[in-house]
Amino acid sequence: MSRLITITTSTALALALWQALVVLAALPPFILPGPARVAETLWASRALILEHAGITAAEVLIGLALGAILGGLSAIGLAASPLARRLIRPMMVFSQAIPVFALAPILTLWLGYGLWSKVAMALLIIYFPVTSAFFDALMRTPQHWLDLGRIMGANGPRLMWHIRVPAALPGFASGLRLAAVYAPIGAIIGEWVGASKGLGYLMLLANGRAKIDLMFAALIVLAVFTLLLHMSVDRACRRWLDGTAAG
């Protein structure tokens, strides 16, 4: 309950600051519209915004799911095989030197203007954080558990599955929490580069037509979506860790 009060209060404070900025700096609505005006637009264009938000949400969620699966498998593969580490890790590190933004036009060229180029963008942006958070945790299994496993006669794959993976799940979870924040960024970049749907597209369109209030309305919906996504991933991870995995 007190948490609800804190959230409400800080939201009210933010809105008040926003309104104060608009009034005190005497900003015209086509530079920065006030919160009331944006809320009005948000309500009036709700069908339009919701339609585009649905597209972006789909891109983000598919990207997140694929990133979790691919990142998880890559981390396990790297942790299991010293050869894979020697060959693939340098490649992964080098790939991080390429700004993901620069790849967006190429992805659009390869995958088209539809959903998949944005999914790929979200995937690209979260793959490394997920993989490295999980991989680092997998490489840091407390030695005494590994010793215990060895004495009990575990082979490599069983040691991985019954000890190293469960012990590393908290690391995987922190990778996923980061991914929940990064994935929407990926999808929006993808939409900016080339799309006919999605919140990123809507924002560009609104900006181009000087509908700044619509742009802000879309921005707020995006922010709220990202926040909710982060909270649900966080909660799901927590529940998962308490439930079947590490506590």
Which residues here bind other proteins, judged by CB under 8 A? Answer: 144-145, 147-155, 158-159, 162-163, 166-167, 169, 241, 244-247
Smaller CB separation from other proteins, 165 or 217: 165
- Shortest distance (Å) from residue 185 CB to other proteins: 32
- Shortest distance (Å) from residue 206 CB to other proteins: 48
- Shortest distance (Å) from residue 140 CB to other proteins: 15
The string of DSSP codes covering 204-223 is HHHHHTT-HHHHHHHHHHHH
Smaller CB separation from other proteins, 159 or 179: 159
- Shortest distance (Å) from residue 148 CB to other proteins: 6
- Shortest distance (Å) from residue 213 CB to other proteins: 50
Smaller CB separation from other proteins, 113 or 145: 145
Smaller CB separation from other proteins, 66 or 241: 241
Smaller CB separation from other proteins, 154 or 178: 154
